[in-house]
Amino acid sequence: MGLFSKMFKGPQVDMEKSNENARKMRVLFNDAVENGDNYRIIFGYTEDTSRFNYGFVHGSKTMIGNLILGWNEQDCSIAVVPTVPDLSGRGDPVIYRRSEILKAYRNKFPTDAFVIYPDKKGYIAINAYDWLDDESLYVYVSQEEELAAFTQFFIEKFSTK
């Protein structure tokens, strides 16, 4: 590998830290959601801090709401649990069942987001990526495989569009 490619190669993922955060996410999720082990989980975030303001309660100065996002293919539901970047606590979960929502779709612009309209009064737009390294804003976790599985579930089984 040449000097140029070494200089511009992205940061390395600390898999030990990522795996530890994934374990913490699982504990928080299972504590919040009944039968939490029936859900696969990923980290996501939203800018809809009016709905998920747990970060503000715990001193966050950002406009980002950190979320542990779980999905259950059996009952076609998505559970959203607010948290903070260091996973020191959680808020109350919100469960979205496919049969009870108004609509849901994946929005590509301006950002790639999963959008759920539970009713006519509002919506939640959730962003999720394979890895985010800014630990002051996001949970540090590598989740490429799980994110691909969630994306497939959302598009094929949860989306209404």
Spatial distance between the Cα atoms of 3 and 36, rounded to a whole number of angstroms: 47
Any residues with CB less than 8 A from the CB of 93 and at least 6 apart, and which?
A: 32, 33, 79, 80, 81
pLDDT tens digit sequence for 4-32: 333 334 567 899 999 999 999 999 999 99
Looking at the domain 13-158, which fold is it? PH-domain like (2.30.29)
pLDDT tens digit sequence for 31-58: 999 999 999 999 999 876 555 544 443 4
pTM here is 0.85
> What pLDDT sits at residue 49?
56
Which DSSP helix (H) or strand (E) runs through 121?
A: none
